[in-house]
Amino acid sequence: MSSSTTATLQVCRECGAGAPLDAHFCPQCTKILPLGRQGDYFGFLGLPRKLNIDGADLERRFRELSRRFHPDYFYNASPAERRASLERSSYLNDAYRTLKNPAARVDYLLELEGFGAKGPQEASKAVPPALLEEVFALNEELDEVREAREGGAPADAWKPRLERARAPIEAKRAEHEADLGELSARWDALVERGAADSERRAVLESLRNRILERNYINNLLATIARELDRP
């Protein structure tokens, strides 16, 4: 068997037959397959690696597989089959939770494609160039607000300033969400027509940059929220 074949097959432990990597049951003996080496969450649910997913279709696929993997159906089965049903049920829950959330879906796709975004804490270490102006203005405002608060200024004197400072950051987040929507549509179109890797990489790079900027924006908004919550 060639390496290219083994890379796309899993072996049934019951009968030794080969099965597609994302098959759940052996096509020969029909036994549930151990979780083992999987493709990815998309393939597990029978979906292409697209970013725009029909929520109702995802829900239907999840519920159907939940029934098929349910441990009650394997009550009298072998220990290996009972273990496989539990493993597949757990993996299915992880896949569903990730893919039903648009933000988590983008993060997961980037990870699969080798463009994993940094976490929010790591992303906050360097200001993305596209946000320099907003960050500079916000830091100035925060310094003045903190100084006023420490000087005994009442909340109604400095909280409106923070609300005004939040507005352009919120607008930037909305702009990024729109950009992410456009890039997601571009990615899906590339997947549909089987575009070359160079085209895919360009979109993935843009997606990663937008995700890093979005994480930084969320950090800024969280900072404003903490300041507003202070007495």
CA atoms within 13 A on the CB side of 173: 14
What is residue 126's predicted lDDT score, i.e. its pLDDT? Answer: 66
Question: pLDDT band at 71, cuts 50/70/90?
Answer: confident
**46 pLDDT above the threshold of 60:** yes
Question: pLDDT band at 170, cuts 50/70/90?
Answer: very high
What is residue 125's predicted lDDT score, i.e. its pLDDT? Answer: 58
| Beta bridge partner(s), residue 11 | 18
What is residue 88's predicted lDDT score, i.e. its pLDDT? Answer: 93
**201 pLDDT above the threshold of 60:** yes
How far apart are the C-alpha atoms of 139 and 133, rounded to whole Å?
Answer: 10
3-class secondary structure per residue, the chain: CCHHHHCCEEECCCCCCEEECCCCECCCCCCECCCCCCCCHHHHCCCCCCCCCCHHHHHHHHHHHHHHHCHHHHCCCCHHHHHHHHHHHHHHHHHHHHHCCHHHHHHHHHHHCCCCCCCHHHHCCCCCHHHHHHHHHHHHHHHHHHHHHHCCCCHHHHHHHHHHHHHHHHHHHHHHHHHHHHHHHHHHHHHHCCCCHHHHHHHHHHHHHHHHHHHHHHHHHHHHHHHHHCC
What is residue 55's predicted lDDT score, i.e. its pLDDT? Answer: 96
How far apart are the C-alpha atoms of 107 and 180, rounded to whole Å?
Answer: 12
Question: What is the average pLDDT value for the chain, to the nearest integer?
Answer: 87
**20 pLDDT above the threshold of 70:** yes
Q: Which amino acid is at 4?
A: S
pLDDT digits (tens, 9 = 90+) for 211-225: 888 888 988 899 999
Q: Which one has a higher pLDDT value, 67 or 11?
A: 67
**124 pLDDT above the threshold of 70:** no
What mean pLDDT is predicted for residues 32-48? Answer: 87
How far apart are the C-alpha atoms of 54 and 102, rounded to whole Å?
Answer: 11
Question: pLDDT band at 157, cuts 50/70/90?
Answer: confident
**97 pLDDT above the threshold of 70:** yes
**4 pLDDT above the threshold of 60:** no
Give pTM, 2 decimals: 0.82
pLDDT digits (tens, 9 = 90+) for 126-142: 677 878 888 888 888 88
What is residue 51's predicted lDDT score, i.e. its pLDDT? Answer: 97
Q: Which one has a higher pLDDT value, 121 or 161?
A: 161
How far apart are the C-alpha atoms of 75 and 93, rounded to whole Å?
Answer: 20
What mean pLDDT is predicted for residues 63-88? Answer: 91
Most confident stretch, 154-158, 171-175, 185-189: 185-189
